[in-house]
Amino acid sequence: MLVPGGVLALVYRDWIRAPELGERLRPIYSGYAAKTDFTRRDVVEELRRRDLFAQLGTQTTAPEPWRPTLDELIGCHHSQSGFVLEKMDDPEGFDRELAAALDDLVPVVDGRYELDVVATVAWGRPA
């Protein structure tokens, strides 16, 4: 619900920022995703393209350390629509390949992966 004349803020995060990790994960994602027709879209751009959002500004945070466990990282993936456990054919295989990629490319200290996350906030008025 938005008050008349109010500003809508759209917040999104990026937690797989290392290009080499993204390259390694891409075939894993496409091989296991429950949604095979998924197309990544920029929500702000999509709303603007449809004349549903007049953007007034945007701000991206500096990278912040994020130290998830393997279970937390796997849980983050399974919280996304393409990797819902009940819809996947082989969630255990996905988890194994995801863990192998992370172990190969991301440092682990005290059982936690050394990652960082940024958040971007875009604000504007709905049309």
Mean pLDDT, residues 60-71 taken together: 96
Quickly state the pLDDT bin for 75 (edges 50, 70, 90): very high
Angle ∠(92,93,95) on CA atoms, nearest 5: 65
pLDDT-based confidence at residue 82 (cuts at 50, 70, 90): confident
Domain positions in the chain are 19-119
- Three-state SS for 64? strand
Confidence of residue 115 (pLDDT cuts 50, 70, 90): very high
- What letter does residue 106 receive in the DSSP assignment? S
Q: What's the pLDDT at 41?
A: 78
User: Which segments of the chain are extended strands (E)?
Assistant: 8-14, 53-60, 64-66, 108-109, 112-113, 115-126
Which residues touch 83 (CB under 8 Å, ≥6 apart)? 29, 32, 33, 34, 77, 91, 94
Question: According to the model, what pLDDT value does residue 2 have?
Answer: 83
Residue type, 11: V
**The pLDDT value given to residue 38:** 62
The two structure tokens encoding residue 78: 């399974």
Partners of residue 81 on adjacent β-strands: none
The pTM for the full model equals 0.78
Asked whether the predicted pLDDT for residue 80 surpasses 90, the reply is no
pLDDT band at 112; cut points 50, 70, 90 = very high
**Burial per residue of 67-106, b for 16 or more beta-carbon CB atoms within 10 angstroms, e otherwise:** ebebeebbeebbeeebbeeeebeebeebbebbeebbeeeb
In this prediction, residues 108-123 reach a mean pLDDT of: 96
Q: State the pLDDT at residue 8.
A: 94
Instruction: State both tokens at 102.
Output: 């992370």
